[in-house]
């Protein structure tokens, strides 16, 4: 068995490590000539950490990121709505880790080079298409930047892990169209700042009208003052948006206005945002779930298969789950890779489609939307007069069940596989 992986992002690299653990040879082809840290923060939820811990990466990830202890919800007036424990603090067997996306990718690359060998990670190889026959799958490439043709690569299967603008997905579903805009635009950045609340809190405040912000630390003790590197995301309902781009520069003046008076006893939000050096802007987009991913010896994984709104860090989490399931399917059917890809699709297609649809209608911070509606976007005297603790807990647990990281689901996942 020899697997060709197109894309050296989180999904592709995790798949390579999962295949190596299963004793299956693979090669990773990444279009970028050099892998640089892009994006900002990401949360590794317990279901993702279950898989990454199984790959021997838990200690390294915990050391480079921040082990999250609690999730805290506020309205736009800084009033506390709900607080719940996260990861091991909530009784899970695995932590929840907040980390810079670049640090996560670096950990995965280091592990791939150590375990697979550097010659198995090919940079600057831009995939232009795939083909297959009864005995093999073929990926065609050109050199990124120059367009020079590179030798075609043959393997038993080709897996497209090349993101929301996947070349392989476009080949399998020509004419599908661009990602679908949600009506919410996003601005993101990281700010050096003293620890906020517990120093390991995931904070969500406000709602899309006029604005919502998500804040969490992703690196500890970055300087002599003991500050953290703190990730933030601002989300605002916006009728217009620019084309999807991970690295589009954003402007503070485009989103600070609705939060100009957010001076809370736990954070001065305008000052916090003004202390950010680099701001990125991109729209919240996804695509409709596909009817299938696998075509003979070719299949899709991660954002190439099921791009979803970047809510709750489930895009990366679901890609990590894909990787484990696909590696298991190939290991279980080494003589019939076509059957293995079909089995992988059966296990993951509907599960990820549910997460895509749930992120559209009932995101992980739906608590904020419910309180926004019930209060008419006004301060409250007591949250218990607005909504019960039981209702708040039920909303939170409902999303975890759909996304696959409620404790009941992970309890069964923890059994020998």
The pLDDT of residue 282 is 87
Determine the average pLDDT of the residues in 327-340. 97
Q: pLDDT class for 334, splitting at 50, 70, 90? A: very high
In a domain? residue 37: yes
What's the CATH code of the domain at 139?
A: 3.50.50.60
In a domain? residue 328: yes
| Calpha distance 201→70 (Å, rounded) | 5
In a domain? residue 171: yes
**Would you say residue 414 has pLDDT above 60?**
no
Place of tokens 């840290």: 37
The pLDDT of residue 246 is 60
CB 129 within 8 A of CB 138: no
The two structure tokens encoding residue 133: 């026959």
In a domain? residue 315: yes
Q: pLDDT class for 409, splitting at 50, 70, 90? A: confident
Q: Which residues pair with 85 in a beta bridge?
A: 70
Q: Which residues pair with 283 in a beta bridge?
A: 185
In a domain? residue 137: yes
Quick: pLDDT tens for 183-210. Answer: 999 999 999 999 999 999 999 999 999 9
User: 291: which DSSP letter?
Assistant: S
Long-range contacts of 78-86 (CB under 8 A, 24+ apart): 78/205, 78/262, 78/264, 78/265, 78/266, 79/379, 79/380, 79/383, 80/383, 81/367, 81/368, 81/371, 81/383, 81/392, 82/367, 82/383, 82/389, 82/392, 82/396, 84/393, 84/396, 86/202
CB 11 within 8 A of CB 320: yes
Q: What pTM value is reported for the model?
A: 0.94
The two structure tokens encoding residue 200: 């390991």
Task: Pick 359 or 221 by higher pLDDT.
Answer: 221
User: Following DSSP, what letter does each residue of 349-402 receive, concatenated?
Assistant: HHHHHHHHHHHHHS-TTHHHHHHHHHHTS---S-GGGTS-HHHHHHHHHHHHHH
Q: pLDDT class for 103, splitting at 50, 70, 90? A: very high
Lowest mean pLDDT among 23-37, 55-69, 126-140, 373-387: 23-37
Quick: pLDDT tens for 276-299. Answer: 999 999 889 999 999 999 999 999
In a domain? residue 416: no
Number of domains into which the chain is organized: 1
Range of the domain at 44: 2-66+97-178+288-362
- The continuous run of DSSP H or E covering 109 comes out as helix 101-115
The pLDDT of residue 245 is 61
CB 160 within 8 A of CB 213: no
In a domain? residue 325: yes
How many Cα neighbours within 13 Å face the side chain of 23? 4
Average pLDDT, the chain: 93
**Would you say residue 416 has pLDDT above 50?**
no
In a domain? residue 292: yes
**Would you say residue 415 has pLDDT above 50?**
no
Where do runs of H (alpha helix) occur along 216-287?
A: 269-274
């Amino acid at each position: 068995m020899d697997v060709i992986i197109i894309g050296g992002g989180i999904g592709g690299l995790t798949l390579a490590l999962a295949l190596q653990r299963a004793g299956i040879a693979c090669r990773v082809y990444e279009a970028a000539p050099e892998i640089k840290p892009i994006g900002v923060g990401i949360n590794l939820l317990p279901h993702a950490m279950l898989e990454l811990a199984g790959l021997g990466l838990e200690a390294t990830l915990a050391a480079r990121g921040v082990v999250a202890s609690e999730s805290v919800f506020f309205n736009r007036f800084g009033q506390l709505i709900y607080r719940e424990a996260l990861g091991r603090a909530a009784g899970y067997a695995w932590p929840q880790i907040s980390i810079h996306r670049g640090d996560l990718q670096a950990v995965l690359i280091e592990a791939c080079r150590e375990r697979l060998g550097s010659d198995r990670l090919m940079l600057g190889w831009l995939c232009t298409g795939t083909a297959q026959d009864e005995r093999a799958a073929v990926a065609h490439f050109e050199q990124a930047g120059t367009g020079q043709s590179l030798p075609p690569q043959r393997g038993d299967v080709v897996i497209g892990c090349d993101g929301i603008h996947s070349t392989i997905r476009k080949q399998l579903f020509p004419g599908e169209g661009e990602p679908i805009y949600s009506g919410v635009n996003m601005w993101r950045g990281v700010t050096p700042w003293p620890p906020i609340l517990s120093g390991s809190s995931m904070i969500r405040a406000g709602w899309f009208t006029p604005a919502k912000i998500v804040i969490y630390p992703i690196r500890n003790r970055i300087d002599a003052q003991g500050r953290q590197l703190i990730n933030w995301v601002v989300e605002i309902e916006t009728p217009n948006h620019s084309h999807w781009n991970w690295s589009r520069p954003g402007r503070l003046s485009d989103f600070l206005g609705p939060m100009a008076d957010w001076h809370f006893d736990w954070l001065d939000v305008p000052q916090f945002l003004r202390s950010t050096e680099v701001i990125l802007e991109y729209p919240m987009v996804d695509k409709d779930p596909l009817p299938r991913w696998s075509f003979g010896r070719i299949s899709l994984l991660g954002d190439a298969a099921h791009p979803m709104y970047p809510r709750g860090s489930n895009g990366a989490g679901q890609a990590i789950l894909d990787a484990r399931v696909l590696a298991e399917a190939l290991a279980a059917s080494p003589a019939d890779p076509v059957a293995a890809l079909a089995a992988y699709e059966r296990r993951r297609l509907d599960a990820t489609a549910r997460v895509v649809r749930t992120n559209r209608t009932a995101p992980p911070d739906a608590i904020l939307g419910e309180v926004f509606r019930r209060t008419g976007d006004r301060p409250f005297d007591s949250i218990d007069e607005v909504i019960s603790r039981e209702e708040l807990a039920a909303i939170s647990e409902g999303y975890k069940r759909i996304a696959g990281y409620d404790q009941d689901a992970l309890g069964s996942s923890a059994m020998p596989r």
